[in-house]
Amino acid sequence: MIYLDNAGTTKMFDECVEVHRIFSCQDFYNPSALSAQSMQVSKKISETEKFFLKKLGADVGNVLFTGCATESNNLAIKGSLRNGDWEYVFSEGEHPSVFNVAQKLAQDGHVVHFVPLNSKGEVDLQALEKVLNAKTRLISIMHVSNETGAINDLVAISKLKERLCPRAILHVDGVQGFMKIPFTLRKTGVDLYSFSAHKIHGPKGVAGLYVKNKSALKELYQGGGQQYGLRSGTENVSGIMQFRKAVELIDIDKNFTHTLELKHLLNDILAKCDGVKILDFEASPYIESVIFEGVKGETMLHALNEKGVIVGLGSACSSKKAGNRVLEKIGIAKDEIISSVRISFNAYQTSEEIEEAGKVICQVYRDIKERVS
């Protein structure tokens, strides 16, 4: 089996399994309790928070550990809401866990602006500049597109915020960027940054939210007051420590270079297959969309699955819905969108695997075209 849907989830590192055993069966104590053992676990969580701050390249702030990136994004957005004549800004390319929240805000009567994407899949900075003003409370724009791999310029966005709405909060969905794209938060004006474990070979059920200034957020639900009172509930100690282990094992620069080589290798093979169009914006090496002219993407997905190659149809959170909102906003024709699949790599695949996948993809496509022609 060759797995090319890594933007949906990744295989967990084997090393995380032993970490899970230790913190579920050995150091299993509740970090909020007062025993010496519990206090040691609490200390390890605090140390891990500092570890993540360093990995994010943040000089100040805190990290909240959540149950998933959807929770992190909802906490960032809904926790930033305030009464009054405020406006909220989102890009049209956001993941459903942001975009659908933005739509709900608009339905509830908030002033919401959706900023279009340019032809490369990035947020249109000129359009963004036009909607920012002194009333802007929140700007939420993703780091790396989960559909196309397009990378938004966080520094440029931060500069617009500082010039036009310095009181605004800048939230970034960094799920497809964290530990994949070399960057450092200290060079940006990002206030909130969401990231997830299972996208980088950690466990499902744990994620993070970087918070530069805790006063910018309000709690969404009440409880025991854990995590600075912003995310009550007993921490998922095992998940948090497994998340840390996964990050410790990743070499961002080495992985970036290797994954880019894999992407180029596959694209060289697909380029020789008539009727295949690669939507590669030369952005993240981990993600791209591919169009198979005359064949539905879903048909390709199932046919490839039977041959041992797994691909995706875009965001796993909305894969059962027709169409692809992000590709449509970029200007891709509807017939091409129907014929598209998302291919996403991980840095631990081999060139031999990718070469084999490329051959299978081309052969499956040719076989289907012959049957339908």
Note the pLDDT tens digit of each residue in 290-330: 999 999 999 999 999 999 999 999 654 444 555 688 999 98
**pLDDT single digits (tens) 181-193:** 999 999 899 999 9
pLDDT at position 321: 54
Matching residue, tokens 């952005």: 283
pLDDT at position 195: 98
Report d(CA 80, CA 355) in Å as an integer: 46
Report d(CA 61, CA 368) in Å as an integer: 53
pLDDT at position 331: 86
pLDDT at position 318: 47
Residues 6+ apart with CB under 8 A from 30: 38, 41, 234
* Residue ranges of the chain whose pLDDT lies below 50: 316-319
* Number of other CB atoms surrounding residue 126 within 10 Å: 10
Catalytic annotation present for 317: yes
Q: Which of 129, 133, 157, 141 is nearest to 85 (CA)?
A: 133
Query: What are the structural domain ranges in the chain?
Result: 2-10+251-372, 15-248
- CA triple 171-256-63, angle to 5 deg: 30
**pLDDT single digits (tens) 220-253:** 989 999 999 999 999 999 999 999 999 999 999 9
CATH topology of domain 15-248: Aspartate Aminotransferase; domain 2 (3.40.640)
pLDDT at position 319: 46
Domain 2-10+251-372 is classified in which CATH homologous superfamily?
Aspartate Aminotransferase, domain 1 (3.90.1150.10)
pLDDT at position 311: 98
Q: pTM for the whole thing? A: 0.95
CB 27 within 8 A of CB 192: no
User: Which residue among the candidates 25, 68, 165, 317 is catalytic per the annotation?
Assistant: 317
Share of the chain above pLDDT 90, in %: 92
> Chain-wide mean pLDDT for the chain?
94
